[in-house]
Amino acid sequence: MTYKIIIPARLGSTRLPNKPLKDIGGKTLLQRVVEQAKKSNADSIYVATDSEEIVKHCAKIDVESVLTSKKHKTGSDRLAEACNILGIKEDLIINVQGDEPFIEPKDIDNLYNLLADLQANMATMYTDLDYEDREDNNVVKLWMNDGSSVKDFSRNIDYLNPAQAKKHLGVYGYRVNFLHSFVAWEQSHNELERNLEQMRAMDNKEVIYAIKSDGSIHLGIDTPEDLLKAREIIENR
């Protein structure tokens, strides 16, 4: 098993400025994500950022970083540039979000295995949808076909059968050559209408596969409230 992890991290979050450097129990958010990634079977881990401050922080927490453009509209654009800088051409890569401090290393490996076993171009992850997330449009829902492929994504629980909705987790696996094709496509109608980048792939008839997470904590840090929850989890361990 050989694959690479790239963790996008930028300081310009509107809801939580300087998010990657926020403290959670004595370690930064980014450090906690990196430490979880290092427990996976990936052979290399990189942080892709547009910030010199994060580059300096990466040196302190012993992870290689790649300085990318500040002009990217999406995380996939940053990911593709990082692959070019690093000379990654044929590999499978896993995009672990820089705001997932509790991601399970086994989940990362399982996503890689799904991508490799199915010879897929793109894959992602989901978990069961909590009651409190059902009406939250910041929580992306997905619906599965029979098997491992995704039927659709939406922020609206009523878009398809609510009883079959799952909570999408923003972790992706790509074949690098497909990633470059993906970022070259124009933004699609459903991507813009739903504000969901993955719809660009589906609108171009690309199959996205998904696997259920084995993790017990699924908390992406997007708001000050999320940050407080994460600190409470760490304090109570």
d(C-alpha 64, C-alpha 72), whole Å: 20
Tens digit of each residue's pLDDT (9 = 90 or more) over 126-164 = 999 999 899 999 899 999 999 899 999 999 999 999 999
pTM: 0.94
Domain at 4-235: CATH architecture: Alpha-Beta Complex (3.90)
| Residue-by-residue DSSP string for 94-115 | EE--TT-TT--HHHHHHHHHHH
Tens digit of each residue's pLDDT (9 = 90 or more) over 16-61 = 999 999 999 999 999 999 999 999 999 999 999 999 999 999 999 9
- Sign of torsion over alpha carbons 183, 207, 100, 39: negative
